[in-house]
């Protein structure tokens, strides 16, 4: 899980099951839409901690991200869009090599503070995601303290209420 994601133990079992089913369905879509050699697949989603995956401003941020990716990336072709227990999700084919597409996506994530809540995951023809380390970049930082997000999640360093307050602050400019 990524920064701000709730640990499964902290969620009700019905929500845990729904989130796992959403994750599995998303993976099945990724597996069914492998890109051609030299091209990429972009999975756009939100990274919102806790059970509420669409707080005020989240859908607007998501729509901005999809629109921004369609402008910034070459040869974008929408493949799938849905909402599920994990929030909104879109899958886009991209006519660019995975490394180049990932660099562009990282620049989108850096364009505004709320974009920190986006997951713009780029996959190559082998189905693997291009991670930050493959580009020589440090891991994604925690929403609250700046340490590597994975470490904070594993150690449950921050109360969910603090993470949710940070999310509300980041999304305030996007809420209608």
pTM greater than the 0.85 cutoff: yes
Q: Quick: pLDDT tens for 92-117.
A: 999 999 999 999 999 999 999 999 99
Residue 1, pLDDT above cutoff 70 = no
pLDDT band at 11 (very low <50, low <70, confident <90, very high): low
Is residue 2, in this structure, part of any structural domain at all? no
The whole-angstrom separation of Cα 54 and Cα 148 is 24
Domain range for 27: 8-171
Contact present, 117 and 4 (Cβ < 8 Å): yes
Contact present, 2 and 142 (Cβ < 8 Å): no
The beta strand positions in the chain, using DSSP E, are 40-46, 77-84, 87-94, 118-123
Is residue 176, in this structure, part of any structural domain at all? no
The residues near 18 (Cβ < 8 Å, ≥ 6 apart) are 84, 85
Domain count for the chain: 1
Is residue 3, in this structure, part of any structural domain at all? no
């Amino acid at each position: 899980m990524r920064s701000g994601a709730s640990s499964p133990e902290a969620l009700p079992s019905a929500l845990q099951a729904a989130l796992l089913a959403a994750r599995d369905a998303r993976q099945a879509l990724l597996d069914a839409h492998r890109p051609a050699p030299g091209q990429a697949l972009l999975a756009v989603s939100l990274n919102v901690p806790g059970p509420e995956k669409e707080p005020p401003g989240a859908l607007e941020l998501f729509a901005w991200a999809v629109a921004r990716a369609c402008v910034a990336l070459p040869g974008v072709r929408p493949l799938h869009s849905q909402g599920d227990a994990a929030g909104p999700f879109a899958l886009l084919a991209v006519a660019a090599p995975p490394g180049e597409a990932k660099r562009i996506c990282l620049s989108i994530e850096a364009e505004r503070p709320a974009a920190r809540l986006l997951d713009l995951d780029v996959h190559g023809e082998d189905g693997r995601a291009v991670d930050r380390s493959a580009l020589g970049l440090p891991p994604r930082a925690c929403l609250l303290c700046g340490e590597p997000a994975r470490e904070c999640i594993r150690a449950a360093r921050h109360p969910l209420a603090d993470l949710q307050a940070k999310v509300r602050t980041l999304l305030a400019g996007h809420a209608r």
